[in-house]
Structure 1
Amino acid sequence: MPDFAPLSTAKRLLTGGGAQPAAVGRFELRRLLGKGAQASVWLAHDPRLQREVAIKLLPPVQGQDAAAVLEHWLREARHVGRLAHPHIVPVFEADVQGQQPYIVFEYVPGCTLAEHLERQGRCAPHDAVSLVVDVLDGLQAAHAAGIVHRDLKPSNVMVDAQRNARVMDFGLAAAVASTPDAQLASGTPAYMAPEATASMPPAPAMDIYSAALVLVELLTGRPLIHQTDTWQALYRIANDRIELPKDLGSGVDDALRAILQHALARDPAQRYASAAEFRDALQAWAAPVSASTTAGNATLDFLLRRMRHKSDFPALSDSVARIQRVASSEDDSISDLTREILKDVALTHKLLRLVNSVLFAHASQGSVSTVSRAVSLVGFNAVRNMALGLVLLEHMQDRQHAGQMREEFLRAMMAASLASELGGAAMSEESFIGALFQNLGRMLCSFYFAEEAAQIRTAVAAGTEEEAAAMQVLGLGLEDLGAGVARVWGLPETLQRCIRKPLGAPPHRPPEKGAEGLRWLARAANEVATAILQTEPQQLDARLQKLGSEWSRTLALQPQAFADATLRARQQLVALAQALELQVAPDSAAARLLRLPAPVVDAAASDELAPHELHPHATQPLTVQAPVSGPQAQAQMADVLSAGIQDVTNAMVNEGFALNDVLRMILEAMFRALGARRIVFALRDARADVLTGRFGLGEGSEAAVRSLAVPLRETADLFTAVCVRGADTLISDATEARMQERLPAWYRKGLNAPTFLLLPLQIKGRPFALIYADQERPGALAVDDKVLGLLRTLRNQAVMAFRQRT
C-alpha cells in the first residue's frame, strides 16, 4: 500500500469516487487525515464513548469469495485488537459496511515519520535510532502475540507529542506462518523483504527487514528502494543484493553500519532472530558511556576519564547538575536556586553584575544586591539560564587558552541570546538553554583538549566539516562529546537531544513544536553566531541577509524580523561582555562578535538606550567573602546590608510583593554580609506554640531548618528567653561551660554552633518568628553598632512585611 500523503482538501475522497461520507457505522467523520491509492484515513467522533478516533477505510472487497475474504480479515483484525503496548497505536474496532472494511484506532496527535522526514529532512543518528528502537519495541510485542505487521514503513509510524514512535495500521497484519491471502496486498514494495515478494508465509523477519529500511531512510532522508515503478521495485528486491549507501550521515560509524547490514541480510535466517535482538543491538550502540559497546562510546569513556583528572571538571559537573536539579524540582525551587548560587561566591558576584547591567534595565529599575531580588525581578528561568552560562565561563578559565575560551563562550552566548529572541516569549527560556548547550561539545573540547581543539580548527579552516574533523582528531564527534557529558550531568532528555543539530537544509515549513522545533531554532541561532565570528565585516551584512532568507520559512519570520532579532542579540552580547568585563584582543575573531553595525538614526527610537550605554543604576560588584576583624570588614558588612535594605524597600514599595520573596531577600542580605555558614528563618506554629525552621541558606541549612524548634513557653533555656523578651543576641563563644548550660538539648544535639546570632521578630510584644545565623569558629561573627542597627532594620522590614500580608 503506498504511503499516505497529508491532504488539506479533496474532491473525491473514496477509492470508488462519490461524495464525502457523513458517517461510517456509528462514527461521525470529521476531516480527512490522509489518502492513498487504495484507502483513506479520517478523523472521526465516537458519540458513544465521546472521543476522537481515527478510521481507515479500505477498498471494497469484490468477487465470489468476498464473504470469505472479509471473514478472514475480521478474524485477523480481532487478533490485532488485542494488542496493547505503549509503542503500538491500539485498534478499537474493525467492521464491514457493505463490502467495505474499516478499522477504528486511537487518534494520536502528531505526525507520521513520513511527514517528519518531509518537514525536517534526515535525522541525526541517535535520533533515528531512538525512534526505531520504539518501533522495534512495539513489533516485538506484536510478534510475541503471533502477529506480523507486513506493511511497516514511515507513513505507518506515528511520532506523538512526546516524540515517541508508535506503530500503527495493522490493516495488513497476519498471523505468523499463516497462508498469504491473494486478494489482500501484502506490503508496500519499497519496504518489503525479499521473501515477501515470493509470497512466503508471514514471519517476524519480514518486519525486521522493513524496520532496517525505515532506519536507513531516517539516516539518509530518502528510501533505500526508490524506484517509482512497482514492478521495478519488486524485481530489485527479489533479485538484487541491497547495498547500504556510503553516506549514512555524520556520526554513523562502522558499528551501526554492521547492525544495519545484519538486519538487511537477504537470507531471513541470517538476520536478527527477533525484533528485541535488533532493538537491543541499537540500544547498545546508543548507550552513553560503556567501554564494552561501540568504538565511539569507548572513546567517550576515555575522554571522560581524561576530563575527570582535571580539577575543574568535577566541580563544573557538580554545579551544573545541582542547578539543573533545582530547576527540575517541584519543591520550593526559588529558595533552592538562590541557595545553590550563593554557594559559589564568584558566580553570585557575576550574576549580580549581569542583573545590574543594561541587559535588565527594563526590569531592575534600580540596583539589585540579592539573588532573591534578581529572581523576583527577571524570573526564575532567566536567573537559572544566566547561572548555567556563567558556571561554564567560571569553571572554564585557562590563562594559556583564555582567548579561545572567551571566543567559545561569546559565540555560545550570542547563539543563546538570538535563540531567545527568535523563540518569542513562549519559548524564550528553553531556546536560550538549547542554543547555549548546542555548543557544549565544542566548549568542552576547547578547554579540556586544547591541542586537539587547535587541530580541529586547522582542519576546518582547510575545508573539513567540523564533526568529521573531530572524528579524525578525537575519534568522536563534538556533538557526541557534548551529548555524552550531558547524560553524565543528568540534563533533561530534551536538552540532550538539542545538542545534536538536525541535518539537511532548513525545512520549508515550521518544524513541529517541542524538541524538534527547538533543535532547528538552536541550529539557526548558532549558524548566525558562527557567521558573525568567521565573516569579514565588509561581507557580514550580505551573509546575514542570506541566512535570514534561508531560515525565514522555517522560523515563520520575515527576513527583516530575523535581522532585527539578530541586532538585538548582538547588542545584548555587547552589554553582557561589558558587565562581565570580558576583554578580547581587537584583532581577534571574538572581537567581531562585539562589533556592532553603525546605528541608523531613528527619531522614534531616540529615547532608547544605546547598545554601549551603561544602565544608569548599575552598581559596582559587591564583594562577597567571609568577614574579617577590623573597621574595613564592618564597613563592608554595612554596604551589603544597606544594599539589601534598599532591595527590600524597592520590592515592598514598587510592587505587589510576595511575602516569601521579601523574606528571602532579607535572609540573603544578612547571610552575605555576615559571611555566615548558614542562616535560618523560623516561624511560629500556633498549635504547638513553637518556632520551627521554615527555610534557610548556606552549608547544612537544610538540616538546620529541620533541627530548629524553639518552644515559646517559659523555660530556662537561652533561645526561649531571647524570643519571649525580644532581645537581639550575639553569642561569640557558645563552647564555654557556663553558656553550654543555657543551651537547650535540641540545640546541642542538632545545630551546636560555636558562635551564633539570634534576631527575634515580635508583633504586639509577642514572638512570632526568629532569624538564626551561625559560624563554625568562636568569635567569627562580630558586628559593630552600625552593622547591628542595619541588621535590626532588615529584621523590622520582615515584621512590616508580615503586617502588610497577614
Structure 2
Amino acid sequence: MTGAVPAALRPGGQLGRFELRRQIGQGAQASVWLAWDDMLQREVAIKVLLPEEQLDHALQEARAMGALRHPHIVPVHEAHVEPGLAWLVMTAIDGCTLAERLRGGALPAQQAVRLCSEVLSALGCAHAAGIVHRDIKPSNILLDSQGHAHVADFGIAARSHAGHDGVLVGSAGYISPEAAAGAAPEPAMDLFAVGLLLGEMLCGQPLRMAVLPELAMARAREVPVTWPANCGQDVDDRLRHVVLRAVAHDPAQRFASVSAFEAALQAWWQPMSQAQLELPGDASQGPGADTLAFLLRRMRQTGDFPALSDSVVRIQRITASESDSVHVLAAEILKDVALTNKLLRLVNTAGFLHSGAGEVSTVSRAAALIGFSGIRNLAMSVMLLEHMRDQSRARRMKELFLQALLTAMLTDQLTPPSAERETAFLAGMLSHLGRLLVAYLFPDEAQAIRERSDGTDLRSETRAAVQVLGLSLDQLGQGVARSWGLPDSLRLAMHRPEGDWPRRLVPEADERLRWRVRAAGEMVQLLLNHEPAHTEAALRQYVASVAPALGLGIDAVIEAVQLTRVQLSGLASDLQIEPLPHSQARRLLGEDPAGDTTMVMPPPPARMADLLSAGLAEVTQALLVDSPKLNDVLRSLLESLLRALKAQRVLLALRDARTGQLAGRLAMGEGADALSRRCTVDVTAKVPADVFAAACIKGLDTLITDARAPDLRPRLPGWYRDQVPVSFALLPLMLKAAPVGFLLIECEHTLQVDHAELSLLRALRNQALLALKTAH
C-alpha cells in the first residue's frame, strides 16, 4: 500500500466518512479498527484488507455476511473498495475475542456449552443459506459485554458442495481432516471446528498440539484428535463424549448437522425428562424404594449406558446401506447392550404407545417402527465406552456386557425355534439390567457387593446386594424396566424364578422361559467361577440337575454352551472387546485367565502415546521432503513402533507382484531377518487359511494379547507357530479394499493399548500406505 493510504491507517486517520479511533485487531492480511461514523453518529468496527489481491476476499466476505441476519453473526453494514485498499464496516462488539478470554484458562462447563450453542445457532443460519465459514477458531468468535458469542470473519467462506480447486484454506489448528486433504467445502467442516472450540473452552488449551507449520496440515489429515491428559478441569463423561463425537476423524461418525450437535448439547443440559423416569406406583413404598428413586434420579443426570464404538460404526454402515434389511439391523443392535436398552425404552414411551404401536417386546419390531434414519440418530446419541474418562470402569462394563450377551445367547439357544426366540434373547440380556446399572452409576456400591459376595452363585450376590442397597439387583432391574414402560411379558421373562429347581418339565411356556433365563445366568456364573480344567465336569453336573425342568437333554445343553462360547468369542473379536489376560471374563471365551503360558508384564510406559506422536511427526516430516526415499521412510516408521511399544520385533510385509501373496519386506529387532524370510501370507484363496490371512483380507486391525493360547495355535500360519511371541498386533495395509501388506508388531509382554494409542498406531499405518503410494 502506498501514497496517502498508510497515513490514513492510524488513530485519528480518515477512511471516507469514518474516523479511525484505535486498532483493536491485527492479522497477516487485515487489521481491525474501532471507528466513528460521523453521518450516523455511532461507533463501528472497520476491517481493512490489504494488499490488493485481498480485494476479492473483501467482496466475498461482504456478500456472505450481508446475506445473513442472525443475532450471533456480526452484521456487515457496508463494503468499500478503492485502488489497493478495501474495507468492511461492521457492528462494533464491545468486548473481547474468545481467544483473549481463554488466556485466563478453561470456562465453566455450562458457560462453554452456552457459547457453543450460540456459535452453532449462527452456523445453522449460514448453512441454511448454503455458506460454510471454513475458519471457525477462538479469534473469530467475539464476546460482547453480556458474554454472548458472535461469529465474525467470513473472509474465506464458500458455498457448500461448490466446485473446489483443492487449495487448502483454514487454520491448521482447527481444520478438519477432509479439509486438510483438499476436499470441497461442507458444513461438517465447521462442526468439526466447533467441536475443537468446545473442547478448548472446557480444557483451557487447544485439543491439537502445536507443531511446526510445515507439519500442521499433515497432522490434521492423519492424526485423530484425543482428549488431553492434563485438561484444565474435570469434565464429565457425557460432555467429553459430545466433544469427541464432534471431532471424530471419520466424518460419518460426527454429528450430521447443526441440529444434531445442538440436540446432543441439550441432552447434556437436560438429560432426561421426569416423565421418562418416574417411579413406578408399586415401587414407591417398601424396602429399597429410596434406592430405586435415587437410581432413577442419577440416571436422569447421567444418561444412557455407554455403547461400543464398533457397534455404532457397524450400525451406521447398515443404516446407510440400500440393500440391508431391518432384520440385519436388528441383529447388529442386539450385539450391543446399551443400544438395545435405549431402543426398547424409546419405543415403549407414551408417545409411541399413543401412536397405536402398542407394547413392543422385540428389537426387530422396534427397528421397523423407528426406521433406519431413527436408528442412525439413536446410535449417534449414545455415549461411547471409549470416551469414558475412567477406562478401568469402562473395561469392567465391557466384561459385564460379555456376561449379559452370553446369558442372552444361551437363553436363545435353549429356546426351541419359534417366534419367541428374540424375546428369549432380550429376556436373558435384560436379566442383567440391575447389575449393569449399579456398575455404571454406583461403582463404589458395585465393588462393595462384589466384596460381600462369595462369587459362587447368584444367590450370594443377591444377599450382598440387599445388604448394600436394600433390594436385590433383580428388583432394581424390574423397577427400572417398569419405569421405562417395558411390556409386562418382557419384564416377567427377565425376572428369574426363585427356589429349588423343579424335578419335571415346567408346563407353562412363559414360566419355562423364566427358568431358561435363570439356567443361562447360572451357567454363566459357573463358567466364571471354575478353572477351565474343571469346567466341563461342573457344567455337566449342573445341567443334569436342571435339564428335566427345561425339557432338554444333557448333551444338548452342553452343546449349546459350547456353541455360544465360540459365537461369543467371535463377537468379542468383532467388537474389539478384549478382556485382560488375568480377568475371569476370559473364561467366558473358553480361555484360562491364569494359564502357565500367559506372562503378564507391567504395561508399556505411560509415554507410549507421546512416543508414537513423535514417531508420527518424524515419518510425516520425512514424507514432506522432495523425493522422499521409500526405505528411509519405512525404516523410520518401524523404528518408531519398535521404540514406542517396547517391541521384540516389527515387520512390514508387502504384496509380491508375481505371486499375489504378502511377503516380508523389511523387519527390525531380535531375529527379525529370519522372521522376514519365513513370512508369507496367502490372500488369494477364497477361504482364508489362517488368522493372518483372514485379518488381511477383511482389513481388520488385530491385537492378540495371549498369542500362546492353545486354542489360537491351530489358527496361526504354519511358519509362525515355532516362535510365537507373548502378544502381537497385526495392522493390514489396504488399497481400494484389497490388502497390499501388513505391519506386524511382536512383544514379549502383554501388549495393551488404549483408544488414543490405537488411533496413533493406525495413523502410522496410514503413513506407510502414503509412502507406498508416493513411491509409485
Q: Fold match, TM over 0.5?
A: no
Q: Which band: TM-score by shorter chain?
A: 0.3 to 0.5
TM-score by length of 2: 0.34
Larger radius of gyration: 1
